[in-house]
Amino acid sequence: MSEAVARGLEGVNVTATKLCRIDGLKGELIYSGYNIYDLAEKSTFEEVAFLLWNLRLPSKTELAALEKELRAERPLSDLNERVLREIVGQIRPMRALEIAVIIAGALDSKSSDLTNVQLKTTAALLTARMPTVLATYHRLRQGLDPIAPRDDLGHSANFLWMLTGREPNALESRVFDVAMILHAEHEMNASTFSALVTASTLSDMYSATASAIGTLKGPLHGGANEAVYKTVEAIGVEANIPTHVEGMLGRGERVMGIGHRVYKTTDPRAIILEKLGHQLAETSPDRKYFDLSLKLRDYLARKLEGKPLYPNVDFFSASVYKMLGIPSDLYTPIFAMSRITGWTAHMLEQYADNRLVRPNALYEGADNRAYVPVEKR
Among 260, 287, 297, 322, binds ligand ACO (CB under 6 A): 260
CB 272, CB 32: distance < 8 Å: no
User: Is residue 273 part of the contact set for ligand ACO (CB under 6 A)?
Assistant: no
CB 140, CB 158: distance < 8 Å: no
Is residue 138 flagged as an active site residue? no
Is residue 221 flagged as an active site residue? yes
The phi, psi pair for 258, rounded to 5°, reads -120, 140
Identify the H or E element spanning 249: helix 241-250
Measured distance CA(119)–CA(108) in Å, rounded:
12
Give the pairing type, strands 34-35 and 20-23: unpaired
| Number of Cβ atoms within 10 Å of the Cβ of 313 | 25
User: Is residue 256 part of the contact set for ligand ACO (CB under 6 A)?
Assistant: yes
Among 27, 105, 149, 257, binds ligand ACO (CB under 6 A): 257
The phi, psi pair for 189, rounded to 5°, reads -95, 180
Site string for ligand ACO, 313-332 (x = CB under 6 A): xx------------------
Taking the least distance from each CB to ligand ACO, the nearer of 41 and 246 is 246
Q: How many residues bind ligand ACO (CB under 6 A)?
A: 16
CB 184, CB 341: distance < 8 Å: yes
**Radius of gyration, CA atoms only, the chain:** 22
Which span sits near ligand ACO by CB under 6 A: 97-105, 279-287, 311-319, 325-333?
Answer: 311-319
Give the pairing type, strands 34-35 and 28-31: antiparallel
Measured distance CA(228)–CA(181) in Å, rounded:
20
Catalytic pick from 138, 183, 244, 260? 260
CB 359, CB 8: distance < 8 Å: no
Site string for ligand ACO, 206-225 (x = CB under 6 A): --------------xxx-x-
Taking the least distance from each CB to ligand ACO, the nearer of 241 and 258 is 258
Is residue 260 flagged as an active site residue? yes
User: Is residue 99 part of the contact set for ligand ACO (CB under 6 A)?
Assistant: no
Distances (CA, A) of 103 to 10, 84, 163, 165: 35, 11, 21, 26
Taking the least distance from each CB to ligand ACO, the nearer of 122 and 231 is 231
Which span sits near ligand ACO by CB under 6 A: 38-46, 124-132, 142-150, 257-265?
Answer: 257-265
User: Is residue 36 part of the contact set for ligand ACO (CB under 6 A)?
Assistant: no
Residue number of the CB closest to ligand ACO reads 259
Q: Which residues are near ligand ACO by CB under 6 A?
A: 220-222, 224, 254-261, 309, 312-314
Active-site residue set: 221, 260, 314
